[in-house]
């Protein structure tokens, strides 16, 4: 029997097409294939799924989800299962980042209401559990895409500062530290 991780990693999450031009193609080489001209085009990310991962973590760290629209005609996928995300060694000097898939999966298991005992007893199927994980993953990423889109509408150059994504994720750490400090003061 395949593990939940293996079943999940064979899936190809969806995203809303409305973010293709306004977000995904702005930051990635999505739809262009593998080329050596990424740096010349000033793209921050190569494959579209790299930005999906960033959007997912934005949703996760804000602890916000946004369901995908119901119209399947307005949804799209990157055409590559999760198991292949980040497995291109030496592309423009990059290293494989397969561990990120494991972090994604662990976060999803922790943040999705899954009855693992019912799964173990055969009361629910592994497919149903994977569907729940993918749904949660898509909702976190959808919030992240929406966040990026809104920031770019407010300031088209917002994400074109050298360390902006890094600073965004550091802000989550600072917010967490401030919350922890406030809790300690209350004690």
Q: What is the mean pLDDT of residues 129-154?
A: 96
Structure letter (DSSP) for residue 187: -
74 pLDDT band (50/70/90 cuts)? very high
pLDDT at 142 over 60: yes
- Percent of the chain clearing pLDDT 90 (strictly above): 55
Q: What is the pLDDT of residue 168?
A: 86
Q: What is the pLDDT of residue 184?
A: 60
Q: What is the pLDDT of residue 97?
A: 80
Q: What is the pLDDT of residue 94?
A: 63
For residues 65 and 50, give the distance between their C-alpha atoms in angstroms, rounded to a whole number.
19
Q: Which residue has the higher pLDDT, 15 or 163?
A: 15
For residues 29 and 42, give the distance between their C-alpha atoms in angstroms, rounded to a whole number.
10
Residues 160-178 pLDDT 10s:
877 888 888 888 876 666 6
Residues 144-157 pLDDT 10s:
999 999 999 998 88
Beta-carbon contacts of residue 25 (< 8 Å; ≥ 6 apart): 31
Residues 83-112 pLDDT 10s:
988 876 555 666 778 899 999 999 999 999
Cβ count within 10 A of residue 88: 15
For residues 103 and 5, give the distance between their C-alpha atoms in angstroms, rounded to a whole number.
11
For residues 15 and 62, give the distance between their C-alpha atoms in angstroms, rounded to a whole number.
18
Q: What is the pLDDT of residue 176?
A: 62
Q: What is the pLDDT of residue 6?
A: 96
Sequence spans of domains, the chain: 4-160
Structure tokens at 145: 């895409």
Q: What is the mean pLDDT of residues 177-182?
A: 64
Residue 77 pairs in a beta bridge with 14
pLDDT at 75 over 50: yes
Q: Are 179 and 100 in contact (CB under 8 A)?
A: no
Q: What is the pLDDT of residue 39?
A: 44
């Amino acid at each position: 029997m395949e593990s939940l991780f293996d079943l999940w990693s064979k899936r190809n999450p969806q995203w809303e097409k409305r973010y293709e031009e306004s977000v995904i193609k702005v930051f990635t080489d999505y739809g262009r294939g593998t080329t050596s001209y990424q740096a010349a085009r000033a793209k921050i990310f190569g494959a579209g799924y790299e930005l999906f991962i960033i959007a997912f973590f934005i949703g996760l760290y804000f602890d916000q989800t946004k369901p995908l629209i119901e119209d399947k005609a307005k949804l799209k996928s990157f055409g590559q299962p999760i198991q292949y995300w980040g497995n291109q060694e030496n592309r423009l000097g990059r290293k494989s980042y397969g561990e990120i898939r494991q972090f994604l999966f662990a976060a999803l298991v922790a943040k999705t209401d899954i009855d693992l005992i019912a799964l173990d007893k055969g009361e629910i199927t592994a497919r149903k559990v994977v569907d729940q994980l993918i749904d949660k993953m898509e909702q976190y990423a959808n919030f992240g895409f929406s966040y990026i889109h809104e920031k770019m509408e407010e300031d088209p150059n917002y994400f074109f500062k050298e360390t902006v994504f890094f600073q965004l994720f550091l802000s989550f750490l600072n917010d967490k530290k401030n919350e922890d400090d406030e809790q300690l003061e209350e004690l």
